[in-house]
Amino acid sequence: MPENFDACTSCGEQIIKGDICLRSSQDMEQIVVVRRNHGVEKKIPLNPKVCSKCGAVSFFVNNPDTLKINTSDKPVDPDFKEKPILESDF
């Protein structure tokens, strides 16, 4: 079932409209979701939603498909090697 992005996930009231961003206080960089898999690092901005009634904050990404790793992605470390499969992995 698709989530209603205009309603609060806690109380169902309206989400505050406008451009709301997350930034770190130290370096003013935007907060991102990072996926590390197979030596590839994918970053995508994390967007907040703030409820106008209860103040609850939830997060979403605009396009989760950009986190999928595909054949054109190159490892960050060109010498990356897969870790061996261990018994504890099962």
Q: Where are the domains of the chain?
A: 1-61
| pLDDT the model gives residue 85 | 66
- Rounded to 5 degrees, what are φ and ψ at 66? -70, -15
pLDDT by 10s per residue, the chain, length 90 = 456 778 888 898 999 888 888 887 777 677 777 777 667 888 888 888 899 999 999 888 888 888 888 878 877 776 766 666 677 765
pLDDT reported for residue 34:
76
- Asked if residues 59 and 69 have their Cβ atoms less than 8 Å apart, the reply is no
Give the span between the Cα atoms of 32 and 50, in whole angstroms: 18
| Spatial distance between the Cα atoms of 48 and 8, rounded to a whole number of angstroms | 11
pLDDT of residue 14: 92
Q: What is the pLDDT of residue 53?
A: 92
